[in-house]
Structure 1
Amino acid sequence: MRNIIKVRLEDFPPRIVEHPSDVIVSKGEPTTLNCKAEGRPTPTIEWYKDGERVETDKDDPRSHRMLLPSGSLFFLRIVHGRRSKPDEGSYVCVARNYLGEAVSRNASLEVACE
């Protein structure tokens, strides 16, 4: 038995309408990487850093990263140590619904030198 997906005429695949921008931020400061997508049904948003999925507060309540309702990625504070640089890197947001996915442009997050 095959699964049949019924496509409604008003449904359309996701598209990114606001791409994230490169940001340089000081250690310990908050920042936001913006991403907005449209589609019907409303797409889900996931973020990837250097190819790895970013865990947010929805995955781990202790996370310092939050996925905002708009789809943007909010950092309560930038974490950056001598050996560990968990926030620095290249980010993309991916919007998905049953008709497909859209990937944003890359945005780099750099931590300013003290």
Structure 2
Amino acid sequence: LSRTKGKHWKGGSRLRQEDFPPRIVEHPSDVIVSKGEPTTLNCKAEGRPTPTIEWYKDGERVETDKDDPRSHRMLLPSGSLFFLRIVHGRRSKPDEGSYVCVARNYLGEAVSRNASLEVACK
């Protein structure tokens, strides 16, 4: 009986060892976009359990459609950040800046490289 318990326990620990911390497999790259145009900042991460992805712009968390249904930014299932249109005014430049994506699971987190989003002046 103790032998089968031992075997069963080993199987359980092996399953747990298959969990691994997130790692970024696709980093976002710098983009230059015209005002009012759509764009995407790519981010793909691996991990088990599947990591959650959050975006930060200039160190502040980016709100997406999940936080606010009227947001012009969407978090895609892949983890990429999609802008329906780039918002850019004389006083307010909410989209221009430096972005990173952060992938997290219970084993840790991974931070992507910085990607800058610039708005092309017409």
TM over 0.5: yes
Structure 1 residues 105 and 26 mapped into 2: Cα distance closer, same or farther (>3 Å)?
Answer: same
CA displacement, residues 1-44 of structure 1 (integer Å, 9 cap, x when unaligned): x9999981110000000000000000000000000000000000
Tell me how far apart the structure 1 counterparts of residues 31 and 68 of structure 2 sit (CA, whole Å).
24
Q: Alignment partner for residue 16 of structure 2, among 8, 26, 38?
A: 8
Please give the alpha-carbon distance, in whole angstroms, between the structure 1 residues aligned to 2:64 and 2:19: 28
Instruction: Provide the aligned length of Structure 1 versus Structure 2.
Output: 113
Question: Alpha carbons of 1:82 and 1:6: their partners in 2 closer, same or farther (altered >3 Å)?
Answer: farther
SS in 2 for 1:81: coil
How far apart in 2 are the matches of 1:6 and 1:81? 55
Return the TM-score normalized by structure 1: 0.94
Inter-CA distance 80–99: structure 2 relative to 1 (3 Å threshold): same
SS state of the match for residue 3, structure 1?
helix
Bigger Rg, which one: 2
> Identity rate of aligned residues, in percent?
93
Query: Which runs of 5 or more residues in structure 2 are unaligned?
Result: 1-9
Whose helix proportion is higher, 1 or 2?
2
- Given the superposition, is the C-alpha separation of residues 79 and 3 from structure 1 closer, same or farther in structure 2, using an over 3 Å criterion? farther
CA–CA separation in structure 1 for the residues paired with 2:14 and 2:33: 46
Residues in 2 aligned to 1:101 and 1:77: alpha-carbon distance in whole angstroms: 29
CA displacement, residues 62-110 of structure 1 (integer Å, 9 cap, x when unaligned): 0000000000000000000000000000000000000000000000000
* Aligned residue in 1 for 2:109: 101
Which structure 1 segments of 5+ residues have no match? none
In the TM superposition, structure 1's runs of 4+ consecutive aligned residues that sit over 4 Å from their partners are 2-7
Identify which range, 2-11 or 43-52, moves more after superposition.
Answer: 2-11
**Equivalent residue in structure 1 for 2:53, among 30, 45, 51:** 45
**Do the aligned partners of residues 92 and 6 (structure 1) sit closer, same or farther apart at CA in structure 2, a change above 3 Å counting?**
farther
